[in-house]
Structures are given as structure tokens and as C-alpha cells.
Amino acid sequence: MQEIGRVHFRVDHNGVVKELILLQNRNGSINYIPLEKERNYLNAIKNRDVTKILTIEQIGDKYYTNYKTLPGRHRYTKKDLKMITASMLKRLEGTGRQKIIILF
């Protein structure tokens, strides 16, 4: 997982994000971001109303990881997971790559 920087926010006594102040990236520059979108996103994470996806990909001798958080709780059936796996294997066929998806 890669660090994107620092987020400063204010939280009320119930632990709900009320105001997001700024985002500072790894280079130290400050970017102001839309407060409403980020506040809703952080509250969704706090309430566990998100789906987290971790992918691990092997290309040659190197491993690459990617971490993504989607708002909303997505329930995947066995059929959905089989279709995702089949389509991924078809795309990776013949490229010498391996990829693992972990949903939680």
C-alpha cells in the first residue's frame, strides 16, 4: 500500500468527521479538496460501509500490490467471483503474469 500524504480533519465527540481541512501530498505541497465528498468517504470507512480490495500481481520476479476502497458494501456471490476469476485468467493468459484479488 502506498502512502498518499496527510489529511487533516475535525471529528465531533461521536467520532463523525465534520470538516476536512487539507490534503498534503508526499512532496509537501498542499491541495485543498472538496470537503463533502471526502467527509462522506471517511464516515463510510468509519461505519464499515465499504468494500476493500487488495490485489497482488507478480510480473517476473517482482511483486506489485494495489489497495482500493469502494464506498458501499458489495456482496459477491460464488458465481460473481468465478466470472471475475475467469475473465482475469483470460486477460492474463500468455503474458506470464499472475494476479490475486482479496476482497474484505
pLDDT at 77 over 60: yes
Q: What is the mean pLDDT of residues 27-52?
A: 63
Residue 62: the pLDDT is 73
Query: Does residue 88 register a pLDDT over 50?
Result: yes
- pLDDT at residue 64 is higher than 70: yes
What residues contact residue 41 under an 8 Å CB cut-off, 6+ apart?
71
In sequence order, which residues have a C-beta less than 8 Å from that of residue 2 and are 6 or more positions away? none
Residue 5 confidence (pLDDT) above 60: no
pLDDT at 3: 45
pTM attached to this predicted model: 0.36
